[in-house]
Structure 1
């Protein structure tokens, strides 16, 4: 029976085994898909399929920068031990480099060619699962570009060049000196890593988040028993304070709290002799939003010894 590429792809998706192993399994079993999966299991090759259900909340964030563009990606593993593995670090770093070619679009990234292997990024990750022995996932990716200026990067808790736990991109549009813009962008990126703003400015804040805050402030103000006109002023004042806390441009700049981030950008523009516009930022913190499995280690040990 002729073994087609579609059959190999289907078996790869079902088993998580390598492409050549899947081809061999199908040849050995005459193209029978279920028998091929069993064949792979007997050879110990269907590793990824067994691990795919396990929570991957550790891993690495990576950043990569090009000409007037930069990207950040998150690739998860199950343990920090694997995150320190040289092979895994090389994989994540190269995935970030590939992400530059698709401006961080995660779907395009998964389908993009991984250098030197004949596989795409998604297939390469599955290949690594079988080699390294833990579940791994390409969780997310994002990119920023400017027509003129820089996209600066910063990595917090670095595990290697461009690799770590919190990755930040900051895009600045300006005709000014690129080195000075990069220095400013990196400072703002460090600020973003520390403060984790919700949005660039008030216009980009989630309207639902604003309404939730407003509702809380209204209830708090009404408890004072003051007239509605006064309550409205109290609420607006508290909302302004909220905006100062959660929008990047209104936050007090960590490196100079006498200025807002917006003010620091304006001052830097005057210093380099060219206006600077802060147009965007991205912040990825490793594992944020992933619910990690909590395990009772003592119970696991007791179960393992049959108690």
Structure 2
């Protein structure tokens, strides 16, 4: 008697499972695994969090990507604030100057970290970009009805309160980046300028990095507000003036008739013009039919006298 017959005799019918059914079941399992892997890869790419944490989040919320993403962000934020509090006393003198020039407004920010290695990280550069555009947005809300020249300097306390998204402050963004990269960081200062019709904004960044953003970033930066200039050459003029300000570090504007006082000259207009030292800045501007009205220079990590920051 066959084994099947024995079980039938005992009143127990063997299930008739064919090879095709088993293969079909195996293939279905493979499709499920592939779908889950695709969700995991999607969540990992969109959030940047570890595979382990992404897998845990998907399991917790039964593969609901939106809920998993929100939970991961909340956990990272908590961890970031915890790390930020622990690292608060560590010196952060490295970092980047971020600079963006729009049509009639420009912003320059300094964001600090502990090492040059972290300054080259895309996540840190994203923080610099977010800080700059949060500042520029704030500038726009304050000067929307102001037709003239507007210049605004913001310190760390004011900057960290700015919004970078719905319900998220710049302080939250800093903490999140600290949690991700493990170094102390701070958004140190920012300047915005808005100009009326007929005025222009020149800029220059030195020590620049290859950035994944649409902003210029480096160790030094300058904004120069000017009028005039030969038609078609104004962008190049603005860059040359910014390059001079970065290289020669003037402290004040001075007057067009001021005489240079040697190597220790700290007024912009009497300084020898960096791209052409045979001319003073005032003489160069006269030849370009241009006039500098204001300038700002940032150097990453520089120290300040009391009351100048």
User: Would the TM-score normalized by the shorter structure come out above 0.5?
Assistant: yes
Contact kept, 8 Å, 2:200 with 2:225, in 1: the verdict is yes
CA RMSD in angstroms, aligned pairs only: 3.0
- Residue deviations 1:66-111, cap 9 Å, x none? 1222121100001111101111112112321222223454255432
Contact kept, 8 Å, 2:253 with 2:294, in 1: the verdict is yes
User: Which structure's residues are more often strand, by fraction?
Assistant: 2
Question: 2: distance between equivalents of 1:266 and 1:62?
Answer: 31
Structure 2 residue corresponding to 1:112, chosen from 129, 137, 162: 162
Report the counterpart of residue 267 of structure 2 in structure 1. 247
Gaps of 5+ in 2: 1-71, 140-151, 305-309
Q: Which runs of 4+ in 1 moved over 4 A?
A: none
Contact kept, 8 Å, 2:260 with 2:270, in 1: the verdict is no
Q: TM-score, normalised by structure 2?
A: 0.62
Structure 1 residue corresponding to 2:183, chosen from 131, 134, 150: 134
Distance 1:88 1:48, change over 3 A: same
Q: Superposed, which structure 2 residues align to 1:58-137 within 5 Å?
A: 58-103=94-139, 105-106=153-154, 108-115=158-165, 118-137=167-186
Please say if 1:265 is aligned against 2:285. yes
Q: TM-score, normalised by structure 1?
A: 0.62
Report the counterpart of residue 149 of structure 2 in structure 1. none
Contact kept, 8 Å, 2:80 with 2:175, in 1: the verdict is no
User: Which structure's residues are more often helix, by fraction?
Assistant: 1
Question: 2: distance between equivalents of 1:44 and 1:151?
Answer: 37
Question: 2: distance between equivalents of 1:165 and 1:286?
Answer: 5
Distance 1:197 1:83, change over 3 A: same
- Residue deviations 1:149-207, cap 9 Å, x none? 21111110101350110011111123864x5222111101111111111211169xxxx
SS in 2 for 1:198: coil
Please say if 1:54 is aligned against 2:90. yes
Asked which structure has the greater CA Rg, the reply is 2
Report the counterpart of residue 240 of structure 2 in structure 1. 187
Structure 2 residue corresponding to 1:173, chosen from 227, 248, 259: 227
